[in-house]
Structure 1
Amino acid sequence: MRMNGTSTKLVPAAGLGAWTGLLPESAENHGWRMRLMPALLIFALWTVVGLFQAVPDMLDGFRWTETIGKFIDAWAWALLTPAILLIDRKLTSRLQNVVRIAVAHLGLSIPFSLAHTYLTGLILYPMPDIWWSPLRSTEFAIYFYLGGWGTYAAIVGVLQTFKYYNRFMGSQVELARVEKNLVESHLNALRLQLEPHFLFNTLNAISSELAANPVLAREMIEDLAALLRQSLDCQGSREITLAQELALLDHYLAIQKLRFGERIDICVEVDPATHSAMVPSMFLQPLVENAIRHGLEGRMSGGKVVVSAAQVGAALHIAVIDDGVGLPRQWTIETCAGLGIGVTRERLQTLYPEPGDHDFRVARREGGGTEVAIRIPLHRMGAEARGVES
């Protein structure tokens, strides 16, 4: 084609793509590249081995014959390495026993050492300056054979080391997965201990109001249904956000406020910045229930329960405080803790097993009542929140 005195040559699309690189690479070329990568890697590794062999001889002066001889010795092994890898893979799949594999490789070391000796000799033979070629001297043939036998043993040793390391790492991953499943099962079992206990106490409270005040009992049942619905939504989660945990607690507190009326004052003082912090699911409810049942329920004047949460450094501090009757004189957490305290303590130990990761204390207050103080690691839901935290 000619335009305004200038000729323009039409180039096929394939040729244009080859020159400009603008067209996508064909699947066939990509396949060839993937096949060449292992070969290039093997060649590069043996080149490095040849370099390490040649460097000591270079210290007293560079001689090209000695240097090229070391590289050719290594490159001969590069040519044999694919066959060694293939045979080792077949032996591993068939024998499945380290002793049998070792015996098989011991037998194979003879032909492979001979093959390396003759292959190296053939490559070196056209170079008359390299007089130590195994095809020129019987003594050097024995030297090359023994050196090749040691190299073959080293190759097999490295292969077995990598294989057993991979198996070990695979078994560690599988072990971690099994341990995680066991922890999940243990946490679910602990939670299942709490739920029947909580349901029995709540239903018992509702039944006591059913005859005297059916409207109040109906409202308590509605709050219980909402609490159970949200609890089922979180059942598969080891941890939920503090906001979700407070939403669950709100339904339980609504039941208690309907039941006790003005006798009990419940105050929730939580820093909004901690709402995205992850906490064990349904762990506040048994602590508040303990404060009400054992601290305030028996008092005609009732009392107050305060639930607080705040960030302190890299930890989340949570407290449940009441001004009730307090703990008995001989009370200890090891011997006298009820189901709610005991299960909560065990859940924290399971979720945060590292020393110093958490703290759980139950203590008497100076002015009367009980304080439950919890410290757990502060981590938030989502990568963005974790970035803010760090």
Structure 2
Amino acid sequence: MQALKKISAYWWCQIAGWGANLLVNVFFSWTFRGEITTLFLWRVLILTTLGLVLTHLMRAVLLRLNVLQKSFEKQAVYFVAITASVSFLLAFLQQMCYSKFNLYEPNEIKFSFTSRLIGNTFNSFVTLLVWNLIYFIYHYVERVRNQQIESLKAESLIRDLQLQTIKSHINPHFIFNSLNSIRALVDENPSRARTAITELSNILRSSMQAEKAETVPFEKELNIVKDYLALEQMRFEERLKVKFDIDEDTLDQPVPPMMLQTLVENAIKHGISKNIAGGEVQIVSRFNNFHHVLIVRNTGKLNGSYNNGGFGVSSTMDRLKLMFGDKASFVLKNTHDTQVEAIVQMPVNV
């Protein structure tokens, strides 16, 4: 059994192919002649042995000349030329063996050696052409399959690198903005600054855990956002009002980590902080048509930097495309003159 396992797939195909050719010859001899003669068995065994040896040598020539690496037109020329050459060699050796051991059929004796050689060369050419076509098709399919696998691996690698790049941008971006908020409190209200530092440590702990997964439960993401908003309310005080409209059934839905926090951060940076009177941030989570819909509304108005150049907008669009493809969408729009709405739709995970 161990010896059989060491036989390569190529040799199994060789044995199976030439074995099948032998059986076909035996079948037709029995069908049309009604008997299997010793003469016939010797002839078919010689043909099978020569076929095995010469096709193996032909394969070595194909590999040596790198035929499979050439253009399709050159492959066709090489295959025909090599097939014709080996067919002639097979027919010649076949005739030499028949002459040496006197294995000619009675009706073949009347033909000259040359005539028999030409006839056997033609028959051998058909057989070897089928062998080469199978060999070519197998390697063509195998090459295409390997190319597809390599392409998928490359796409997967690029996707992973892009996701990691986006994540590496999100966390420093968030940290720097949070530290700026704390810095604004240090001189004005030290006690509140200490509370803000505690809030920041909770957020950082959560964000570090979020780095370990491509998605996190929405409930966990929402808790990070609540910590972030508590930190920002230290800075904005009564200028920042927060409202939540959360369908509890959505809490276990997977979402990209730090995505909602980035959108809320964008809402405060481009909306609330630009308004002297401050404003309101509202977070909505619900199901709609087999999609998990997240909405971040804030007081403000869209402008060029908010809509096109903001990191939160570009990172959200990139992450949704990478993770969900065309199944997810992101829209940023004015609902009226004093309110901006960011809407994320992701496929429901059932």
TM-score surpassing 0.5?
yes
1:334 and 1:158, CA in 2 relative to 1: closer, same or farther beyond 3 A?
farther
- Other-structure match for 2:241: 264
1:196-242 deviations in Å (ceiling 9; x for gaps): 33222211111111122223222322332333333334436444443
Aligned match of 2:341 = 371
**TM-aligned CA distance change 1:67 to 1:250, over 3 Å:** farther
Q: How does 1:1-390 map to 2 (within 5 A)?
A: 30-34=1-5, 42=14, 44-45=16-17, 63-64=32-33, 79=49, 82-83=52-53, 86-87=56-57, 90-91=60-61, 94-98=64-68, 102=78, 105-106=82-83, 107-115=85-93, 125=103, 138=113, 139-235=115-211, 237-261=213-237, 263-267=240-244, 269-272=246-249, 275-277=252-254, 279-297=255-273, 298=275, 300=277, 302-310=279-287, 312-313=289-290, 315-322=291-298, 324-325=299-300, 327-328=301-302, 331=303, 336-353=308-325, 356-366=326-336, 368-379=338-349, 389=350
Distance 1:54 1:220, change over 3 A: farther
Q: Is the Cα–Cα contact under 8 Å of residues 118 and 134 in structure 1 kept in the other structure?
A: no
SS at match of 2:188: coil
Question: Residue 135 and residue 333 in structure 1: after superposition, are their counterparts in 2 closer, same or farther (change >3 A)?
Answer: farther
Alpha-carbon separation, structure 2, partners of 1:72 and 1:309: 81
Does structure 2 conserve the Cα–Cα contact (< 8 Å) formed by 1:134 and 1:144? no
The alpha-carbon deviation at position 369 of structure 1 amounts to 1.7
Q: Shift of residue 92 of structure 1?
A: 5.6
Q: 1:81 to 1:221 in 2, by over 3 A?
A: farther
Whichever residue aligns with residue 146 of structure 1, its letter is F
8 A Cα contact 1:134 1:140, kept in partner = no
How far apart are residue 291 of structure 1 and its match?
2.0
Aligned residues: 337
* Kept in 2: contact 1:362–1:372 (CA 8 A): yes
> Taking structure 1 as reference, are residues 274 and 302 closer, same or farther at Cα in structure 2, changes over 3 Å only?
closer
The answer to whether the Cα contact below 8 Å between 1:286 and 1:340 also exists between their aligned partners in 2 is yes
**d(CA) in 1 for partners of 2:222, 2:109:** 82
With the length of structure 1 as denominator, give the TM-score of the two structures. 0.67
Work out the CA distance in 1 between the residues paired with 2:131 and 2:172: 62
SS in 2 for 1:160: helix
Which ranges in structure 2 are unaligned for 5 or more consecutive residues?
none
Paired residue secondary structure (1:372): strand
- Partner SS, residue 284 of structure 1: helix
Distance in 2, Cα, partners of 1:135 & 1:271: 96
For 1:124 and 1:240, how far apart are their aligned partners in 2? Answer: 82
Q: Over residues 330-351 of structure 1, what are the superposed CA-to-partner deviations in whole Å (9 max), with x where a residue is unaligned?
A: x479964522112322332343
Partner of 1:385: none
Q: Secondary structure at the match of 1:264?
A: strand
- TM-score relative to the length of structure 2: 0.73
Moved more, 304-313 or 115-124: 115-124
In structure 2, do the counterparts of structure 1 residues 132 and 250 end up closer, same or farther at CA, with 3 Å as the change threshold? farther
- Deviation string 1:163-207 (CA, Å, 9 cap, x unpaired) is 233223223322222232223333333344433332222111111
Cα distance in structure 1, aligned partners of 2:132 and 2:321: 46
Tell me the amino acid that sits aligned with residue 272 of structure 1. Answer: D
Q: CA deviation at 1:132?
A: 6.0
> Do the aligned partners of 2:245 and 2:284 also contact (CA within 8 Å) in 1?
yes
